[in-house]
Amino acid sequence: MDIIDPIAPHFNLTGTVTIATSQPEFVGNFSHVYRGSHNGQAVAVKVFKSFERPEAVTRRVLRERSVWATIDHPNILPFYGYADEPSFGIFGALISPWCANSDASNFLNQRGSELTIAQRFDLWKGAVAGIAYLHSHKPTIIHGNMHPSNVLINQHGSAMLTDFGLVQIFLEEGSSGLTTTTDYTGTTRYLSPELLAVDDAHPTTASDVYALGCLGLEFIFRTIPFSHRRNNFRGQVTSDIRQGVPPAEAPNDLAPKKLKYWSLIKSCWRWNPDQRPGAEMVLLAVNRIRASTGNAMEIDTLGPELTNVPEEEESEPERLPALKVPADLTGLIIVNIHARPRFKGNYSFVYQGTYQGELIAVKIIQEVGKPESMIKKVKRETSIWASASHPNIHSFYGIADDDDFKPYGALISPWCINGDLHHFLKEREDMPLEDRLKLWKGTIEGVVYLHSRNPKIVHGDLKPGNVLIDEHGTPKICDFGLARIFFDEEMSLMTTTQHTGTVRYLAPELLSDEGGNPFPTTASDVYALGCLGLEILYGKMPFNHRKNNIWDRLTTDIKSGASPSAKPPDVPASSLHAWPLLVELWKPNPKDRLPAKTVLSILETISSM
């Protein structure tokens, strides 16, 4: 017997709902939907038909009420409550908002010609986001009957899924399966092959994804699945599906610019359900495509490689805008440089000192490169740092040119008592995933800020040691851009042993054998963000099967395009929502990686699931 969680009393709307007319607005296989009102607000009143074995159906309706009441997502039709009065039959009625724009089928028939492809794409994006949320729910909710009539359009033009999971009530009660009941002939076009393979097949997350692909075909390309069949006469559509005929062939006039959409939709139709992408992966790809277009830009106007548009020029800007001059703190810093440094880096030592009674970090840059050039570059980089202001960027107080700090001076910043990210995580191995997500999100927000500057600031050396944690547990990126000082001073990332400590976080292109001295880019920063995500979220160091870089084995792994983690960590499935995003950030080709801004947007979506 099912254990049904109690539903909150405020969902009981019995006696407060009235039906406007005796005729239903919509007639479904298992229910009628009437327009009604509740406290003066228009609502949809869904009344179930009569079925055999009413006791079992009642139990399952109660279970679905309980599940729906726990769900909250912008692309899921809200559940207002239920009404159990006799006029609504033995199963009662489910109450939800009334959507004036009707369902997607009617909406597209009436308005489809007025919508741009960007707007139709956004409709599909909403449906994908709703399914991804349902599949991530605990317990997993399988829609099982995805088609345009079960996607409602609200007053803002947003897609909202309805009837999720309710079809399972009926599949389990007295039906011999999807293949024999005539109740499913109306949605046959959206059924995956495995649902027609055996009589007792049940919907799965993979069959939902197949149906999502069919929705994408109809929403974006305005073509119904199996459009060459007007109906399922003599089971022709059913036969096509069973034989592996795809819902549609690529349009003859498919422009390269639409190939991304088509490829994504087609991947949802793979014959083997295990080879279809998960809904979260589809959402990841959809967000990636949409983010590359901007809200106001028509998707059709973009070039063929939507996700491969270079984000930046890899050469440094010829001109820099006027920059803020850092404060001159010469003579104001108290520090004992003869004491042991608190931290030792490849190019600097960090001491603890005081400034006006406050604990500070005093970073003294070591003698490397050509002095005249180095002084110029340090001043330029510290000027950029001085102009940066963001909650996830380590504050810069100024520069001190005391004799003890020669030849390049000392960089002064606040002292972070929690140390760097590596030590912070090591001392908190039992940190909840929610807090780990916040840490990674804060780090990403800092990088988004740097990449949005004009000119862009490329960090170039993102790693746990360059992310400090303040007294509030907020991540603060430090040393941004300073790596650029050293990269072009007759030192190559491939040859210098000084970079072996950070090699785990270097993108493949920075270790290229093609010669030259490659500069870090925003794309290489994003690769490093993925490595940080692996360590922050799952406590795994990138390439943790390599203890060190002996015989350049680690370098070889990276150059060959090997993933920083060959397989997902051994954690509960509920903790793996961010895993597909990490994999996207590790793509060997820098042009295939997401911009940091898109990474942040997707992570916010994942965090809301």
Has residue 247 been placed in a domain? Answer: yes
Residue 462's CB: how many other CB atoms inside 10 A? 30
The answer to the question of residue 317 being in a domain is: no
Q: Are 580 and 435 in contact (CB under 8 A)?
A: no
Q: Same domain for 276 and 342?
A: no
Q: What is the CATH number of the domain that holds 515?
A: 1.10.510.10
Long-range contacts of 438-443 (CB under 8 A, 24+ apart): 439/473, 439/475, 439/536, 440/532, 440/533, 440/536, 440/537, 440/578, 440/603, 441/600, 441/603, 441/604, 441/607, 442/391, 442/392, 442/474, 442/475, 443/392, 443/467, 443/475, 443/477, 443/529, 443/532, 443/536
More confident residue, 461 or 549: 461
604 compared with 353, residue with greater pLDDT: 353
C-beta separation of 32 from 47 below 8 A? yes
Q: pLDDT (tens digit, 9 = 90+) per residue, 563-607?
A: 999 888 888 877 888 999 999 999 999 999 999 999 998 888 777
pLDDT of residue 354: 93
Determine the pLDDT at residue 518: 78
Residue at 256 is within a domain = yes
pLDDT per position as a tens digit, 257-315: 677 889 899 999 999 998 898 898 898 888 877 765 544 333 332 222 223 333 333 33
Residue with structure tokens 């030592």? 349
> CA 549 to CA 494: how far, in whole Å?
12
Inside any domain, residue 498: yes
Alpha-carbon dihedral 134, 136, 139, 140, rounded to 10 degrees? 60
| Boundary of a domain, candidates 393, 415, 437 | 415
| pLDDT at residue 192 is higher than 90 | yes
In a domain, 361, yes or no: yes
Please determine, for residue 532, whether its predicted confidence score (pLDDT) is greater than 60: yes
Residue 290 CA to residue 216 CA, distance in Å, equals 14
pLDDT at 499 over 50: no
Highest mean pLDDT among 204-213, 289-298, 336-345, 477-486 belongs to: 204-213
176 pLDDT more than 50: no
What is the sign, positive or negative, of the torsion defined by CA atoms of 138, 144, 146, 151? negative
In 292-397, which ranges are continuous DSSP H helix? 371-387
Residue 321 domain-assigned (yes or no) = no
Please tell me the predicted confidence (pLDDT) of residue 165. 54
Question: What would the pLDDT profile of 107-159 be if each residue is shown by its tens digit?
Answer: 998 888 888 888 899 999 999 999 998 888 877 888 888 999 999 998 888 89
- Report the amino acid identity of residue 334: I
Q: Kindly state the tokens that stand for 267.
A: 């991947």
Structure tokens belonging to residue 62 = 């109660």
User: What CATH number is associated with residue 334?
Assistant: 3.30.200.20
Q: How far apart are CA 242 and CA 259, in angstroms?
A: 26
Check whether residue 367 and residue 456 sit in a common domain: no
| Nearest alpha carbon to residue 512 among 447, 559, 456 | 559
Q: What average pLDDT does range 26-30 have in this prediction?
A: 77
Same domain assignment for residues 372 and 518: no
Nearest to 194 by CA among 147, 241, 233: 241
Among 416-430, 488-502, 550-564, the range with the most confident prediction by mean pLDDT is: 416-430
The reply to whether 499 and 571 lie within a common domain is yes
Q: How far is CA 589 from CA 212, 307, 526, in A?
A: 29, 11, 12
Q: Does residue 486 have a pLDDT over 70?
A: no
Same-domain status, 110 and 234 = yes
Please, which pLDDT band fits residue 167 given cuts at 50, 70 and 90? Answer: very low
Asked if 475 contacts 469 with a C-beta cutoff of 8 angstroms, the reply is yes
List pLDDT tens digits, range 375-410: 776 776 677 777 788 999 999 888 888 888 888 888
Residue where a domain terminates, one of 415, 435, 470: 415
Of the residues 75, 98, 121, the one at which a domain ends:
98
Separation in Å, CA 227 to CA 45, 123, 213, 251, 547: 33, 21, 14, 12, 57
Q: Are residues 378 and 512 in the same domain?
A: no
Tally the domains of the chain.
Answer: 4
Query: Is residue 448 domain-shared with residue 383, that is, in the same domain?
Result: no
> Over pLDDT 70: what percentage of the chain?
81
Residue 94: give the domain boundaries.
Answer: 1-98
In whole angstroms, give the CA distance from residue 543 to residue 563. 8
Mean pLDDT of 244-265: 82
Tell me, yes or no, whether 298 lies in a domain: no
Q: How far apart are CA 86 and CA 502, in angstroms?
A: 70
Do 346 and 462 have their domain in common? no
DSSP designation for 508: G
Q: What is the pLDDT of residue 166?
A: 52
Residue 166: Cβ within 10 Å count:
24
Structure confidence at residue 197 (pLDDT): 83
**Do residues 458 and 481 lie in contact, with contact meaning Cβ atoms separated by under 8 Å?**
yes
Asked if residue 552 and residue 491 are part of one domain, the reply reads: yes
Q: How far is CA 339 from CA 59, 335, 419, in A?
A: 74, 9, 19
DSSP calls for 526-580: HHHHHHHHHHHHH---TTTT-SS-GGGHHHHHHHTT--SSSS--SS-GGG-TTHH
* Predicted pLDDT at 52: 64
The rounded mean pLDDT for the chain is 80
Exposure b/e, 396-410, CB count within 10 A at least 16 = b: bbbbbebeebeebbb
Query: Does residue 111 sit in the same domain as residue 214?
Result: yes
- Exposed, middle or buried: residue 346 (CB in 10 Å: 0-12, 13-18, 19+)? middle
Q: What is the pLDDT of residue 304?
A: 27
Q: Say how far apart CA 199 and CA 25 lie, in whole Å.
A: 33
Q: Give the tokens for residue 596.
A: 């940091």
56 φ/ψ angles, rounded to the nearest 5 degrees: -65, -40
Kindly tell me if the per-residue pLDDT of 33 is higher than 70.
yes
**Same structural domain, 198 and 70:** no
- CA triplet 449, 450, 454: central angle to 5 degrees? 100
Residues 408 and 426 in one domain: no
Would 296 be classed as within a structural domain?
no
pLDDT of residue 45: 93
Question: From residue 472, how far is each of 256, 416, 475 by CA, in Å?
Answer: 49, 10, 9
